[in-house]
Structure 1
Amino acid sequence: MDFKEIKRESNEATIEYKIDFEDFVPFLDKAYKKDKNRFTIPGFRKGKAPRTLIERHYGEDIFYDEALNMMIPELYDRSIEELELTPVAQPYFSMESLDKEEGIVLNAVVALLPEVTLGEYKNLKVELMEVEVTEEEVEAKLKEEQEKNARLVPADLTEDGSDIIMDFVGSIDGVEFDGGSAEDADLTLGSGHFIPGFEDQLIGKGLGEVDVNVTFPEDYSEESLAGKDAHFAVVIKDIKNKELPEIDDDFIGDISEFDTVEEFKADLREKLEKEKEEFSLAKKAEDALVAAIENMEVELPKAMVEDGVDRKVYEMDQQLSQQGFSLAQFIEMTGGKMEEFRSQYVPQVELEIKRELLLDAIIEAEGLEVSQEEIDEMVKEQAEEFKMEEEEIRKIYERDNYEYLKQGMLYDKAQALIVDSVEVI
């Protein structure tokens, strides 16, 4: 097996791998042992047929994919280490040739850690947001407390804001379509989770069957549905409406340590002022970081950004699955497209990556370090915060020799260099 870097372009390296076929054979044997039980050959029990017979029956390349999947990670890890590359995303492999006589030629395009040129990151000028709390904001907070203490009560008819459980089956011209049906789906009417017109037609309805007729948007993600009229046979199985308590001294006494509405509102105002002050300081820090990012020079590999977007999409898919929806269903119901859904994460992901690269570069430029005394103090603080023994905290961080903790502390130090030197304007 042989490999070499054959191309370097911006933040991408191309590695060429050349493998003699005889070096590939052991991986074919491993693939055969792993998958042999899947094949049926006349005259042999499952898993007992020789590899050569399976290849003759199903094609000589039947084990190639699995063998490559076993070989490539091993070969890739070795090449990255020996070529001293720092990948930041999953590589893209392409098969150039595979021949028993000539062997195998593979190429891998590897996104590399980009170089950062720091600009100004100290003494940055940042505007500080004014802190002011209005009566309307206090009333809105009071309303939130009222909503928070609302009871969900069974109801005969739905209204805007009702929580319902429903089954639905969607069809076009009498034919059901993929992704258009669900059972025991939770929905808050007015949330806008479904395509326009769907939720409106469920308001003022009781338990039982409801016919909903809608038109999919012209720019709907699923082209086969875009612009078409659809019918949904909905069965409302449960209705709960909010019952709000009256805001008076008795209510305030029940939910707080205060006796009157006015005392409670004064406390709300004080908390809002504190929140706004904290937000103002956080915004100052964020604005300073963004300014430092804008002052630096860096070119992000596309694959690095795509990997970050993949993680965001996966996280959203997991959240939706807990609500009984898949991401594909959510995008269809909201009339969007996967490409558009992914693109909305790009600015956020790029900023997060640049922030990390900025802080890494500052740590190196400033020669920042974390002492054992600082680690001990942080462990002590976290033990107090989480009401745990210090030894329990240490066991968690000892798993990676305190690297995770030290990295976080270094980032805090680097960020402090930016924020503490800010000139407020």
Structure 2
Amino acid sequence: MKKRGILAIALLGVTLVFSGCKKNEEINFETYSRYKDVDTTKYVTLGSYKDIKVSVDTFEVTDTDIGKKIHEVQLQNSTYVKNDDRPISKGDKVTVQMTGTIDGKENDGFKSDNFEFIYGNGEYVMDGFTDNLAGMYAGETTKFSITIPNTFSEKAFIGKEASFQVLIKSVEQLVMPEINDEFVQKISDSKTVAEYKEGLVPTIKQEKLEEIKKDKKTGAWKIVSDASEISGYPEGAVENKSKELEEKLKIMAMVQNMELKDYLNTYYGVTFEEYVKLVLKQEMLLDAIGRAENITLSEKEYKESLTEYAKKYGYNNNEEFLKAFGEETVKEALLWDKVQAFIAEQITIEE
């Protein structure tokens, strides 16, 4: 589950309590922002967000960027080696023979002679399945039952008990190459690791530019966000946002069979506290720009966007969508989305 963007962050939020919305009322930040009683300019120093020209020279390449790129190269050149001398560990490729029954009957969807998955990365997302394989070795067999969770794709099975018999056929350990001069000479024209890293810089810059071309809204917002600074947070904001997000993020981590700490590090590269402050920064930046530019939604824009996003997030109709997230929260999220669209219009890409 990679990042969904600002709207997803908004919809993670709790439903806020606002005064009722009058029909045909203009939807604006003065009424529908959770920061309507806060002067966000006290905490936000906005970077330039108008008439932004972007080229490969716009981007800085950090040690983190280079580290991620090298890790990609390591994965591309890695191999799996059979290892029957230790129990299953995170990152191992595991092959099992399994049979699953529901209501005493074998189910073809739970039956396989060679089901292969990477242990610990959420690839097999049924809660409890991989937990029951912890500590096992190749050649061992186990039996267990789990209750099919709400996240399961076959809705008719949700809440029922599934019984499994599983044989661990093989366990393969991921072996990644060491990054040294010998390795980089094999995969490139570079003679040393330092030379190889230096050669990655223009490639990474070009990739960042291509990302903006593919998703101008997200890319433009990242540029503005990176150029802006936060000097502090409203009283109680960090604590309240932590409480608001913790359980929701734990559920998302659980779906991936991961601890919260590992989930945030894997998908966002941050700690929980850093994630909370990142969300607050995005919210306050959106509020500050939305107010500065007097960005509003007309009733027509609201209805059109509501229908679009209800469908996008898998709801049958607008009413179900509003019931799930709350009308005020959705309106704020759509205002935020319009701010992002405004920022995207300010970008000019120079080749």
Q: TM-score range by the shorter chain?
A: 0.3 to 0.5
Which of 1 and 2 has higher RCO (CA within 8 Å, sep 6+)? 2
Structure with higher Rg: it is: 1
